Amino acid sequence: MSLLAVSNLSVQFEGRAGTVPVLDHIDLEINTGEQVALIGESGCGKTVFGMSVMRLLPSNARVTGSARYAGRDLILADEREMQQVRGKKIAMISQNSAFALNPVLTIGDQIAEPLTLHTSCRGNDLHREVIALLTSLGIERPEENMQKYPHQFSGGMRERILIAMALACNPDLIIADEPTSGLDALVKAQILELLRTVMQDRTLLLITHDLGTASALASHTAVMYAGEIVEYGPTQDLFTYPLHPYTQGLIAASPSAGFHPIPGVSPAPGQVPSGCWFCPRCSCAMDRCSTVHPSLKKTGTNRQVRCLRYD
């Protein structure tokens, strides 16, 4: 059953220099119990996608399309409705744990905040709840640590705190934006293991540029390029048999495959070529590719790909 159904979602930013399109007609369905990864390089619009579902984009963003969740369209919901969704129904694990926690509040206060806001949990119950959360995320001496401030923790610990904050109200969907950015390899492996355990029977939208993180956590993966989805499928299939040349390029560029870079750079927002957006960098481009923009097509039983070769 689909928990969140995003269809035709486009985002544009209005600036002094005109309107800049960032997301283009995104369709993505997340079913209950699925972990969907959204992968792509920096600047392709992954984070904007998460923020537009949460309705946390700045005021100069123009969002069209729909994001249906529990019978309503989040894009049309008013601010008060969204405040009831954020943190309670859909929670976010923000990018960059070093800056995502308020430096002047204790972590206990910050974890308790969504609970006081969305539940009737108060006083001793609240205290116990926070301790239980910290313990379940592997933070030792929770009684003592909840009195501390963010700067007193290491990057890995802060990441655990952010995860605890997101899990506090037991939300239906968790949006995790680069949950392992800025961590060293060992800590990253620990956080990934922890996320895999806690996300096992939860619904997750994982936003990442790291293929390893995606394959470790996600049941399904969507590949984004220049603001549109170019390929979608079950993670294992997608990584074993990548269909789109861009996905193939991404996998070939990963360290284990020998660091083969994709030639060229991705187009700046609003300056996409006519035809297929990936065409100028594609090694197997055909004549048609520079004129016809492919649509996202179903191939096989559960794969989707945006490439003329599969038409």
Q: Are 226 and 44 in contact (CB under 8 A)?
A: yes
For residue 17, report the phi and psi dihedrals to the nearest 5 degrees: -85, 10
Q: What are phi and psi of 97, to 5 degrees?
A: -60, -20
Q: What does the alpha-carbon distance between residue 91 and residue 202 come to, in Å, rounded to a whole number? A: 12
Least distance to another protein from the beta carbon of 100, Å?
Answer: 5
The minimum distance between CB 230 and another protein, in angstroms, equals 28
50 vs 275, which CB is nearer to another protein? 50
Asked if 265 interacts with another protein (CB under 8 A), we say no
Q: Is 114 in the site for another protein (CB under 8 A)?
A: yes
Q: Which is nearer to another protein, 91 or 230 (CB)?
A: 91
Q: Which of 105, 257, 268, 286 binds another protein (CB under 8 A)?
A: 105
Binding status of residue 96 toward another protein by CB under 8 A? yes
To the nearest whole angstrom, how small is the minimum distance from the Cβ of residue 146 to another protein? 14
Task: Calculate the alpha carbon distances from 211 to 174, 238, 300 in Å.
Answer: 19, 11, 23
How far apart are alpha carbons 154 and 146 in whole angstroms? 14
Asked if 100 interacts with another protein (CB under 8 A), we say yes
Of positions 113, 129, 172, 237, contacts another protein by CB under 8 A = 113
| Cβ contacts of 41 within 8 Å, gap of 6 or more | 209, 225, 266
Q: Single out the residue of 104, 185, 186, 284 in contact with another protein (rule: CB under 8 A).
A: 104
Among 1, 144, 151, 271, binds another protein (CB under 8 A): 151
Instruction: CB nearer to another protein: give 103 or 255.
Output: 103
In the complex, the smallest distance separating the C-beta of residue 41 from another protein, rounded to whole angstroms, is 21
Interacting span for another protein (CB under 8 A) from 109-117, 127-135, 197-205, 261-269? 109-117
**Residue from 26, 165, 183, 224 in contact with another protein (CB under 8 A):** 165
Residue identified by tokens 């995320």 is: 137
Listed ranges 34-42, 92-100, 252-260, 272-280: which one lies at the site for another protein (CB under 8 A): 92-100
Q: Is 269 left (phi over 0), alpha (psi -120 to 50) or beta?
A: beta
- Joined together, the tokens standing for residue 31 give 């079913």
Question: Which one, 93 or 289, has the nearer CB to another protein?
Answer: 93
How buried is residue 104: exposed, middle or buried, by Cβ count under 10 Å (0-12/13-18/19+)? exposed
- DSSP string over 189-210: HHHHHHHHHHHTTSEEEEEES-
Total chain residues near another protein (CB under 8 A): 31
C-alpha triplet 234, 7, 274: angle, nearest 5°: 90
Stretch that binds another protein, among 3-11, 114-122, 190-198, 222-230 (CB under 8 A): 114-122
- Quickly count: other Cβ atoms within 10 Å of residue 167's Cβ: 20
91 binds another protein (CB under 8 A): yes
Summarize as ranges the residues that interact with another protein (CB under 8 A). 54, 56, 79-80, 82-88, 91-92, 94-96, 99-105, 113-114, 117-118, 149, 151, 162, 165
